[in-house]
Amino acid sequence: MRVFLDAPLLIYLNASRTPEVRRAYEEFYEDLLSRDRVFSDALVLDEVIHVSRRKYNVPYDVSLEFIESIVLPFVGILPIGIEEFERASEVMRSRRIRPSDALHLGAMATNGIAVIVSEDEEFDGMEGVRRIWLGGG
């Protein structure tokens, strides 16, 4: 199955310092990679770097190394262009959703991906999209 990976899982993997907490996220990520074709986009990478720094005080170089070694070798990065923007615009006109999340949905739609890995409940109820997260979905 093709899935889109949103930022929360990657942020927790990058910023978790407690081994017990981190292990649950590692197992979930490893399971995804072993059974699915996983994709994301550059906006997710931006959010991982930004939120890791702002909320968890993770230095940029640590986040960049994390992305280069733990994300990029295993996750395909989808482009965001005019078609993705147009689809995002349609979503934003009909739903209250952050622009970056609408762009993720646009990237998913243009690439035939219907499943998003995210803890963000705003994806629930989106037509043609199923959200999965730790412990279910």
pLDDT tens readout for residues 53-96:
999 999 999 999 999 999 999 999 999 999 999 999 999 999 98
d(CA 58, CA 124): 30
pTM, 2 dp: 0.95
25: enclosing H helix or E strand? helix 19-35
pLDDT score of 135 more than 80? no
Q: What is the DSSP string of 31-76?
A: HHHHHSEEEEEHHHHHHHHHHHHHHH---HHHHHHHIIIIITTTSE
d(CA 58, CA 113): 31
Q: Give the residue from 132, 104, 113, 133 showing the smallest Cα distance to 37.
A: 113
State the Cα angle at 48 between 101 and 77, rounded to 5°.
65
Mean predicted lDDT score pLDDT of the chain: 96
DSSP code of residue 128: T
What are the extents of the domains in the chain? 2-79+115-132
pLDDT score of 137 more than 80? no
User: Taking residues 92-119, what's their average pLDDT?
Assistant: 96
